[in-house]
């Protein structure tokens, strides 16, 4: 499966993505998003790639690599998760490497995965949870038509105490 845009395309993970995945998953600046608390080894990530099942109907999730047309290399990751076929909804998350941020890549990738979710998976809605202090993500999801539908008060523990999390939805 390949979903193509103007600057980037989305594709399944491949063994060659190990170093990129290792860099992203072990970047502690991103851990607050994934709620990771410890680094991954290359062996763990290699096993993850080798054993990953791309059937969203079985695993209830789908991870796609965001790849740049020019370099043909991954520059980010987009995840569909907590797929709920009874209610036709799914969570969505996206991360772009710091050196490729502010280039419109996240917007294009989110638009591509939204098209896939609504036209191919026939979902009714996508949702995401965003730290209230994450203005960049709020702007991205609002630009793509997501609407804030709620706030989870003091939802996440941080170094400074507890922080609110915003609930965003895109309903078709």
Strand, coil or helix: 104: coil
pLDDT at 172: 92
Domain that holds residue 80: 3-124
Residue 52 belongs to a domain: yes
- Closest Cα to residue 148, out of 121, 115, 123, 171? 171
DSSP string, 31-99: HHHHT--SPPPHHHHHHHHHH----HHHHS-EEEEEEETTT-SEEEEEEEEEEETTTTEEEEEEEE-GG
Number of domains in the chain: 1
pLDDT at 30: 73
Residue 171 belongs to a domain: no
Residue 135 belongs to a domain: no
Residue 93 belongs to a domain: yes
pLDDT at 34: 65
Residue 106 belongs to a domain: yes
Within 16-55, residue ranges assigned H as helices are: 18-25, 31-34, 42-51
pLDDT at 22: 87
pLDDT at 106: 96
CATH number (domain holding residue 11): 3.40.630.30
One digit per residue, the tens of pLDDT, for the chain of length 172 reads: 559 999 999 999 999 999 989 888 877 677 666 667 778 888 988 888 888 878 888 889 999 999 999 988 999 999 999 999 999 999 999 999 888 888 899 999 999 999 999 999 999 999 999 999 999 999 999 999 999 999 999 999 888 899 999 999 999 9
pLDDT at 32: 65
Residue 159 belongs to a domain: no
d(CA 91, CA 146): 12
pLDDT at 124: 98
d(CA 56, CA 121): 9
- Cβ neighbourhood burial of 47 (10 Å; 0-12, 13-18, 19+): exposed
Residue 149 belongs to a domain: no
Residue 9 belongs to a domain: yes
């Amino acid at each position: 499966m390949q979903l193509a845009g103007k600057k980037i395309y989305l594709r399944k993970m491949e063994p060659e993505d190990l170093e990129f995945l290792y860099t992203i998953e072990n970047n502690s600046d991103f851990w607050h998003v994934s709620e990771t608390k410890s680094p991954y080894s290359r062996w763990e990530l290699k096993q993850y790639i080798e054993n990953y099942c791309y059937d969203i109907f079985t695993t209830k999730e789908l991870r796609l690599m965001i790849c740049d047309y020019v370099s043909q290399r991954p520059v980010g990751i987009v995840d569909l998760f907590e797929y709920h076929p009874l209610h036709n909804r799914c969570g969505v998350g996206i991360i772009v490497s710091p050196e490729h941020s502010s280039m419109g890549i996240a917007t294009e990738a989110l638009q591509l995965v939204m098209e896939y979710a609504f036209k191919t998976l026939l979902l009714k809605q996508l949702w995401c949870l965003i730290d209230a202090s994450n203005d960049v993500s709020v702007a991205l999801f609002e630009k793509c038509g997501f609407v804030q539908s709620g706030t989870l008060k003091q939802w996440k523990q941080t170094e400074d105490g507890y922080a609110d999390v915003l609930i965003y939805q895109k309903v078709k």
